[in-house]
Amino acid sequence: MHERRRLAMLCALVWLVAVAILAGAVLRLADGNALPDDLVIVLLVAAFGIGAALALLWVRIDLRVLRPVARLEREIDTILHAEPDRALDLAAPGAIEALVGRVASLAVRGDRARRELGAAVAATTERLEDERSRLAAVLRDLSEGVVLCDAQHRVLLFNDAARHALGAPAALGLGRKLSDAVEDGDLAAQFDALRDAGPESRAPVEMAFNGKPARMAVVVEPDGAVIGYVLSFAGAPPPPEHAGASLPPRPIFYDFGLLATGPMPRLFGAGRLTELAFVVFDTETTGLKPDEGDEIVQIGAVRIVGGVVRDGETFDTLVDPDRPIPASSTRFHGLTDEDVAGAPGIAAALAGLRDFTGEAVLVAQNAAFDMRFVRARQHQAGVDFDMPVLDTMLLSAHLHPYEADHTLDGLAERYGVSVVGRHTALGDARVTARVLCRMLPLLVASGVETLDQADAACARAARRFRA
């Protein structure tokens, strides 16, 4: 984009210089006398002709070279950072058709080498994946509640029994403080006492946690440093409807990689996108105009921590809109008045979403639409959605300015994301979350590394949409 502007300014400068030289020559020929009318006409025609020639030259260079080069750059970035299996596909390559062909050949070679390397690595990692699956299965089926935290009380692991024993709080999530979900002042004091004790006094201790008997054991590095603790307590069996819930067979309720990242950054604009937590959400509604009485009928959200979609950490609720759902809206999301009868009202639903979000960055596809509904009703819930909000549609417009399709279906196809549960709030949130994870390395490669920079990129794209 910068190169296009520079070239356009150069053409304009050349035109101004040419006109100035032409005018100077004519004035010199006139030698102080009034210019004849026909000479003035010649001067104007010449100036217009030079300008038209330069404009045509600029348009041809832009259409045949600059735009294809920019599209090629974005295609390469997408292959490198988001979708390695993507075949290079550049419509209207213009004057760089031969270059595109050679780049495509290189991409095929790179893909072949990557697949060969992947096959070699797969044999080595198969054993680790088996152990990971066994760990997840044990955690899922263990009747005892288990929570692992680091020294900052961030949750690194928890199982289903722990979640249900704690009342399935929306604030329980990887990377979040355990105190966000459970208020227990003795927890920090007990951990501090164990950490400060000598190695010979660090045996697991019995304690009360959340009003129940529990056991705390510290996690110690080989060098003796205490880096966290494990809480175990009597669990609770999942409710009967759990078997039909939308959790995947192997929920991701752990991330030991958080141990190496240090404290999760708070929401400062300089926070790096790769280090932030995101909550990607979507709504289904009775219509398009909250200021004319339309209401939310479903909210779905999923958390991203460490650049990974945590399918086990979701928020999904129907909402009673306290008004009939028009058939025209049911045609899109499939929800009827009977489906939402008895569901929570908007106040309870938004309060739950706010608890689930915590200090994460909110993300949505066409976020302006969803946030209009959320902010129009947040006062009823007594909460404030004042956190930063990013829009995948606008981020796509920043990353792919020459593409016309920035819809969720278009983004899913561009990034090779499978679409499941389309036009359900949780289904669309999951698709959007996977799209965002593909976008993050592309954003960093384009120079958008921080939350402030991402917000500025969205603002620029929004201005282009409005223009």
359-393 pLDDT tens trace: 899 999 999 999 999 999 999 999 999 999 999 99
Q: What span, in angstroms and rounded, lies between the C-alpha atoms of 369 and 283? A: 9
Q: Are strands 144-150 and 226-234 parallel, antiparallel or unpaired?
A: antiparallel
pLDDT tens, 74-91? 777 777 666 666 666 666
Other residues' Cβ atoms within 10 Å of the Cβ of residue 308: 14
Is the CB of residue 302 less than 8 Å from the CB of residue 326? no
Out of 157-166, 409-418, 426-435, least confident range: 157-166
pLDDT on residue 372 = 94
What global pTM score does this model have? 0.71
Q: What span, in angstroms and rounded, lies between the C-alpha atoms of 372 and 382? A: 16
Q: Strand 361-364: give its sheet, edge to edge.
A: 308-318, 296-305, 278-285, 361-364, 389-391
Residue 284, H or E segment:
strand 278-285
Q: What span, in angstroms and rounded, lies between the C-alpha atoms of 352 and 360? A: 14
Out of 47-56, 78-87, 288-297, least confident range: 78-87
Q: What is the CA radius of gyration of the chain?
A: 29
* Position 170 confidence tier, pLDDT thresholds 50, 70, 90: confident
DSSP letter, residue 87: P
DSSP letter, residue 282: E
Amino acid, res. 451 = L
Residue 181, H or E segment:
helix 178-181
Is the CB of residue 93 less than 8 Å from the CB of residue 100? yes
Is the CB of residue 341 less than 8 Å from the CB of residue 376? no
Better-scored residue on pLDDT, 201 or 418: 418
* Position 265 confidence tier, pLDDT thresholds 50, 70, 90: low
pLDDT on residue 247 = 41
Backbone angles phi, psi at 241, to 5 degrees: -75, -5
Better-scored residue on pLDDT, 32 or 221: 221
Once rounded to an integer, what is the mean pLDDT over residues 294-316?
Answer: 93
Residue at token pair 């208020």? 183
Other residues' Cβ atoms within 10 Å of the Cβ of residue 362: 21
- The tokens describing 460, both together, are 């620029």
DSSP letter, residue 1: -
pLDDT on residue 347 = 96
Out of 229-238, 265-274, 325-334, 456-465, least confident range: 265-274
Out of 6-20, 149-163, 209-223, least confident range: 6-20
Out of 69-78, 196-205, 300-309, least confident range: 69-78
- The tokens describing 173, both together, are 């999530």
Amino acid, res. 388 = P
Beta bridge partners of 219: 228
pLDDT on residue 241 = 47
Rounded to the nearest 10 degrees, the angle between the axes of helix 408-415 and helix 392-399 is: 50
pLDDT on residue 35 = 60
pLDDT on residue 294 = 94
Better-scored residue on pLDDT, 443 or 87: 443
pLDDT on residue 268 = 56
Q: What span, in angstroms and rounded, lies between the C-alpha atoms of 387 and 266? A: 11
* Pick from 216, 193, 218: nearest CA to 206: 216
pLDDT on residue 29 = 62
* Position 246 confidence tier, pLDDT thresholds 50, 70, 90: very low
Q: Give the E-state strand segments of 100-242 in sequence order.
A: 144-150, 155-158, 205-209, 212-220, 226-234
> Angle at CA 390, nearest 5°, toward 389 and 393?
140
Q: Give yes or no for residue 33 having a pLDDT over 70.
A: no
pLDDT on residue 129 = 66
Residue at token pair 């090779």? 416
Q: What span, in angstroms and rounded, lies between the C-alpha atoms of 54 and 360? A: 51
pLDDT on residue 165 = 85
Better-scored residue on pLDDT, 243 or 40: 40
DSSP letter, residue 63: I
Could you tell me which residues come within 8 angstroms of residue 10 by beta carbon, excluding any fewer than 6 positions away?
none
pLDDT on residue 299 = 98
Q: Are strands 361-364 and 389-391 parallel, antiparallel or unpaired?
A: parallel
Once rounded to an integer, what is the mean pLDDT over residues 451-457?
Answer: 94
pLDDT on residue 423 = 84
Q: Give yes or no for residue 216 having a pLDDT over 70.
A: yes
pLDDT on residue 420 = 85
Mean pLDDT of all residues in the chain?
82
Q: Give yes or no for residue 31 having a pLDDT over 50.
A: yes
> Angle at CA 291, nearest 5°, toward 356 and 329?
75
> Angle at CA 98, nearest 5°, toward 92 and 101?
85
Is the CB of residue 358 less than 8 Å from the CB of residue 278? no
Better-scored residue on pLDDT, 348 or 244: 348
